[in-house]
Amino acid sequence: MRKAVCPGSFDPVTNGHLDIIGRTSELFDEVVVAIGVNKAKASARLFSAEERIEMLEKACAPYGNVTVAGFDGLLTTFCEDNGIKAIVKGLRAVSDFDYELQMAQMNSSLVDVETVFIPTSPEWSFLASSLVKEVAMFGGDVSGLIPPDVHTQLTERLAERARADKE
């Protein structure tokens, strides 16, 4: 059984993430989408871990060999605990590479795990959850960039935040 993990913050999941997850599901027997904590992005988080898990479970339902899980600590501990030897990451542009290479080397120095990079499909290479949130916050149309259910939840959450900011 070849098992891989697609880790990320997924706040929220985008069509770019799903592109990588779908293609990973064709390369491996089992894929776990693992929602972790990126310390650098923690303050900008819009959705709870439970909400992100639920959104991903719906979005990944078409892939029979993909499951979704959350994790708190190190990705390498998650890999060890789940018998996973491959971490799959999407690369959008060369600007992603420096940081991803550093993480890949750190992770493989900690445990016996390889990182596999998949180039993001060109149609999604500009896409990032942080940009989706920013564009949506200022009223831009992001409906073609995220799954429909996620779009509904994003619109509702931003409206809630806007109401709370006014009070």
Q: Does 130 bind ligand PNS (CB under 6 A)?
A: no
The nearest distance, CB 167 to ligand PNS, in angstroms, is 30
Starting at the earlier edge strand, list the strands of the sheet with 30-35. 66-70, 30-35, 3-8, 86-91, 114-119
Give yes or no for residue 75 binding ligand PNS (CB under 6 A): yes
From residue 24, give the alpha-carbon distance in Å to each of 29, 51, 63, 129, 164: 9, 23, 10, 20, 39
- Could you tell me the two tokens for 166? 């006014």
Judged by beta carbon, residue 74 or residue 118, the one nearer ligand PNS is 74
Rounded to whole angstroms, the Cα distance separating 74 from 91 reads: 21
Known catalytic residue at 52: no
To the query of whether residue 2 is one of the catalytic residues in this protein, the response is no
In one letter, which amino acid is 62? P
Expressed in angstroms, the distance from the first to the final Cα of the chain is 54
Given the residues 41, 48, 130, 161, the one annotated as active site: 41
One of 12, 14, 19, 36 touching ligand PNS (CB under 6 A): 36
Q: Does residue 41 carry a catalytic annotation?
A: yes
Written as six digits, the tokens of 36 are 């972790």
151 is an active site residue: no
Q: Is there a cis peptide before residue 12, judged by omega within 30 degrees of 0? A: yes
Does 114 bind ligand PNS (CB under 6 A)? Our answer is: no
| 24 interacts with ligand PNS by CB under 6 A | no
Per the CB < 8 A criterion, the answer to whether 70 and 51 are in contact is: no
Q: Nearest distance from residue 103's CB to ligand PNS, in Å?
A: 4
Q: Does 9 bind ligand PNS (CB under 6 A)?
A: yes
* Under rule CB under 6 A, residue 37 binds ligand PNS: yes
Q: Provide the annotated active-site residues.
A: 17, 41, 92, 129
- The site for ligand PNS (CB under 6 A) is made up of 7-9, 36-38, 41, 74-75, 103, 106-107
